[in-house]
Amino acid sequence: MYSALPHRVSNAVIGTIIVGLVFVGSVSAYTYSAWTTMTGAKTFAINPFFYGAFSDMPGTGTDLVAGYGFTDKFDLFINLSTLSPVKDFSYGGSYIMPRYDFGNNNIIALQMGYDGNEFAGGPQYHFVWDKEKFTLEANAAVTLYSSDMAAPYIFGTLGWVWKAVKDVLYPFVELNPSYQVGPDGGFDFVPAPGVWIGIPNTTHQFALSIRLNGVSSGSIDPGFGMWYWFSIGGNE
C-alpha cells in the first residue's frame, strides 16, 4: 500500500492507500490495496490504514480514510490525513476521490489531493469480479504531479482472493506493478500475500498483508500493511 497520493519511486514501494469497500449494503475490500465495489447508499465507512517497512519501524505511516455512499452508484472517499506518527509526526498528504459505477462493478474515479509538497491526482478504474469461492479485484490508475506534468506515476493492483471460511477468513495474493515516468523513474513490482478477517453479522473487518518491497531491484525489504473497516447506515 502506498501513502495517500503515491509518492515517487522510493516511497511507492511501501504501499498506496487505495481502499476498497462493501458490506450489508456493502463489504470491505478483501485485499489490502485494492478499491472494490461501491460503499452503498447512505452508508458511512471509516477505514484507517497502518503500514511501513520492517527495517524502519519508526517510519510507520497511518492514513485516516473515510467514505460515504450518496447512492448505490456514487460515493466519495476522503483521506483526512497521511501521518508518520512514530518518528516525527510528519504530514504526508490528503485527498478526495469521487467514484461512479457504470454497472457490473465498472467504476471510474478521480483522485485529487495534496501530498505535503505539491498537488497531485488523476483518473482511476476499479473493477471487481466476485464469485462464491473466489474474488478478483483489479485497479488501474495514473497520478499527475503539479510540479512535473510530464512525469506521471502509473500503477495498478491485481488481487486474487480465496474465500476459505465464509465471512471469516479469506487468504489473498496481491500484485502491485508501477512505473514512474522520467529520468529518475523506472519500474517497480510489489507482491503482497495476506489475509482478510471478518466478524460475521457485523461490519467489522480487517486485512493484514506482507509487502515484499524491492523485488524488482533484487534487494527485498519486507514491509507490512493492515487496515480496519467499519460501516454504519445503509441497509443495516
Q: pLDDT digits over 104-162, tens only? A: 999 999 999 998 889 999 999 999 999 999 999 999 999 999 999 999 999 999 999 99
Fold of 9-233: Porin (2.40.160)
The pLDDT tens digits of the residues spanning 83-103 come to 888 777 888 899 999 999 999
List the chain domain ranges.
9-233
Distance CA 215, CA 49 (A): 23
For residue 160, which amino acid is it?
A: W
Q: How far apart are the first and last CA of the chain?
A: 30
pLDDT above 60 for 24: no
Closest CA to 233 of 103, 43, 96, 23: 43
Q: Which of 141, 143, 136 is nearest to 119 (CA)?
A: 143
Cα–Cα distances in angstroms (integers) from residue 79 to residues 18, 127, 174, 197, in the given order: 10, 21, 22, 23
pLDDT at residue 56 greater than cutoff 70: yes
